[in-house]
Structure 1
Amino acid sequence: MNKIRNMALPFICLLALLPLQSRAQGYWSGIGVKIGNNLALDYKIFVTERQALDLSIGILEPFDGIDKRGPQFVLFSPDYLFHFPVSEDGFSLFIGPGVSLGAQFGIMDDNGNLVTEERNFYFSVDAAMGVEYKLPDVPLALAFEWSPKLQLAGDERRITVGENGKPLRPKDWYDEKRHATARLGDLTIGIRYTF
């Protein structure tokens, strides 16, 4: 019990000191893009001085070569971020929970061929973390973010489009083999116009 208390005490002291610091991000909202293994439009709004709602909609793996083109994912990813100022110069660390939901268009068959008639629903629980820098005297913020994911739906949960264009569900839709899958997630660089 003493070991837990000794580990928790510095963390509690840090949390107690955080409200005493000034707002370090230097803006209340911003709009921009995230570029990396996904390409997304991004909107961020601070709901308090240290907490922000970050909303992204984009395409996963948009830069694969045409010969390597695989399934495409369109995802909506809201995150609730907690910012921790590192310095008065505009640097802050952030971390927070989020989700990603959307659709996968196409699957790779056993021979490595793209089957475009297949559609999947995608859902994951995310953990966003990164660093952000608000440029002084310029309405821009730069960010580097990593967002690992715990995928709860997708890949195996396929919706096949029938000849009439309507979705069909395979018999094994609720197969007991379905389980959560850990994913390395998104690694992005963001640029945001701030206001």
Structure 2
Amino acid sequence: MKGTYTTYTMNHIRLTLLFVFLAVFSHTASAQDFKSAAGVRLGYPFSVSYKTFITETNALEAYVGFRSYSGVANWISINGAYQVHNDIAELEGLQWYYGGGAGAQFWSYDFDASGSTTFSVSGYLGLQYTFADTPVTASIDWVPTYFFGSSSYGAFNSFGGGYGALAVRYVLGRP
């Protein structure tokens, strides 16, 4: 058991170092070809999403999601993220991005009609493709998330490495 925990911890340290490396050493300029887009994130949680660029490379994304755990518990989440986008020169319209964000999850427990609130901090690493002739953008990302908070059952602290989504959005404005 101890070896599994050590391997698990080392993998998280490596991922954290990768995010730090990307944040520090990626200063590639890129030009975004849309201002904002709205759509859905098909993942955990299933969400409606709005993304807007505040500069040519920096975007804010907000999304509201829902997740159910087999009739035992549900949550509604509100999340926000700051993302930095960089062009992949070999394919026009394709970008990679990284960033960070925070959220709140409002839990409902079916087995005793109680609820609680947890909070989260997340990292983002993804790819986004904007179609040239269609007002659609698609992205896929990985969103490792640390949850914290408390409920009537005690403290809640958990890391989830399996979060992320495939997002499809309709482009609302082009510069």
Quick check: TM above 0.5? Answer: yes
CA distances 1:12-59 after superposition (whole Å, capped 9, x unpaired): 5x52xx23xx40x31010000011232111000000000000000010
Residue number in structure 2 paired with 1:5: none
Instruction: Report the Cα distance in structure 1 between the residues aligned to 2:166 and 2:134, rounded to whole angstroms.
Output: 18
Task: Provide the TM-score with structure 2 as the length reference.
Answer: 0.77
Instruction: Report the Cα distance in structure 2 between the residues aligned to 1:32 and 1:55, rounded to whole angstroms.
Output: 11
For residue 151 of structure 1, give the secondary structure of its aligned residue in structure 2: strand
Residue number in structure 2 paired with 1:158: 151
For residue 115 of structure 1, give the secondary structure of its aligned residue in structure 2: coil
Residue number in structure 1 paired with 2:72: 70
Query: Contact 2:72 / 2:111 at 8 angstroms: preserved in 1?
Result: no
Query: Contact 2:138 / 2:166 at 8 angstroms: preserved in 1?
Result: yes
Residue number in structure 2 paired with 1:109: none
Instruction: Report the Cα distance in structure 2 between the residues aligned to 1:76 and 1:185, rounded to whole angstroms.
Output: 18
Query: Contact 1:37 / 1:187 at 8 angstroms: preserved in 2?
Result: yes
User: Which one of 107, 118, 133 corresponds to residue 114 of structure 2?
Assistant: 118
1:90 equivalent to 2:93? Answer: yes
Query: Contact 1:105 / 1:116 at 8 angstroms: preserved in 2?
Result: no
Residue number in structure 2 paired with 1:103: 106
Task: Percent identity, please.
Answer: 21
- Listed as ranges, the matches of 1:20-99 within 5 Å are 22-23=30-31, 25-61=32-68, 68-87=70-89, 88-99=91-102
CA RMSD of aligned residues (A): 2.1
Unmatched 5+ residue regions in structure 1?
1-7, 107-113, 160-169
Of the structure 1 ranges 84-93 and 139-148, higher mean CA displacement relative to structure 2 is found in 84-93
User: Which one of 180, 183, 193 corresponds to residue 160 of structure 2?
Assistant: 183
User: Which runs of at least 4 in structure 1 moved beyond 2 Å after TM superposition?
Assistant: 178-181
Report the number of matched residues: 149
Instruction: Report the Cα distance in structure 2 between the residues aligned to 1:38 and 1:102, rounded to whole angstroms.
Output: 10
Query: Contact 2:82 / 2:101 at 8 angstroms: preserved in 1?
Result: yes
CA distances 1:73-115 after superposition (whole Å, capped 9, x unpaired): 1000100000011135100011101011020111xxxxxxx41
Instruction: Report the Cα distance in structure 2 between the residues aligned to 1:92 and 1:50, rounded to whole angstroms.
Output: 10
Instruction: Report the Cα distance in structure 2 between the residues aligned to 1:123 and 1:85, rounded to whole angstroms.
Output: 32
Letter in 2 for 1:191: V
Unmatched 5+ residue regions in structure 2?
1-20
